[in-house]
Amino acid sequence: MNLLSNPTLKWIHFTDADKLFAYPIDYHGAVLSARPDADGAGGHIDLLYRWAPNAYCHFHRHVCATTSTVLAGELHVVDYEGGVAGEKRIRAAGDYAAKDPGDVHMEHGGPEGALVLFNLYSPDGRLADFLGPDGETLTTITLEDMTTGRIARQAA
């Protein structure tokens, strides 16, 4: 599968339909592969995300082990510790990161957007918490949400 040009990917478009945030949310995600554990509770999922230029994703917390590789553009990342924003890091094409569960952060595409490959392993099926402006959990995204298309219906 060519990740850079694949017309068969089913992209889910995420926006801020409720206008909760003071910044533009405009990104897409596509499931590349999902491999459930033998017990069916959790598993691995590979996702491709793309950001529009200078647009953000939802403020979120990863609740499972996550690796990511920037494939194109720039991904701007700000980590949060105890509700306090840290320094912005700019991840360029080729940058790889591995994060443990609990990583709270905000990301946005650079001037030309970003394309990023994510590989996640969740023993219980939970992937990430979408957070509100004050850090409160708005919803938890699961493997099932991503693989059944339920998240696409929620994002629409």
Is residue 72 within 8 Å of 93, Cβ to Cβ? yes
Is residue 41 within 8 Å of 123, Cβ to Cβ? yes
* Residue partners of 109: CB distance under 8 A and separation at least 6: 27, 50, 51, 52, 53, 54, 55, 73, 74, 75, 76
pLDDT of amino acid 18:
83
Report domain extents, the chain. Answer: 12-155
pLDDT digit string (tens) for the chain, length 156 residues: 887 788 889 898 999 888 888 999 999 999 999 999 988 889 999 999 999 999 999 999 999 999 999 999 999 999 999 889 999 999 999 999 999 999 999 999 999 999 999 999 999 999 999 999 888 999 999 999 988 876 654 554
pLDDT of amino acid 152:
53
pLDDT of amino acid 109:
98
Rounded to whole angstroms, how far apart are CA atoms 66 and 89? 17
What is the CATH code for 12-155?
2.60.120.10
Rounded to whole angstroms, how far apart are CA atoms 47 and 68? 9
Q: CB under 8 Å, gap of 24 or more: what pairs does 135-143 form?
A: 135/59, 135/80, 135/83, 135/104, 137/61, 138/20, 138/58, 140/63, 143/34, 143/36, 143/42, 143/43, 143/45
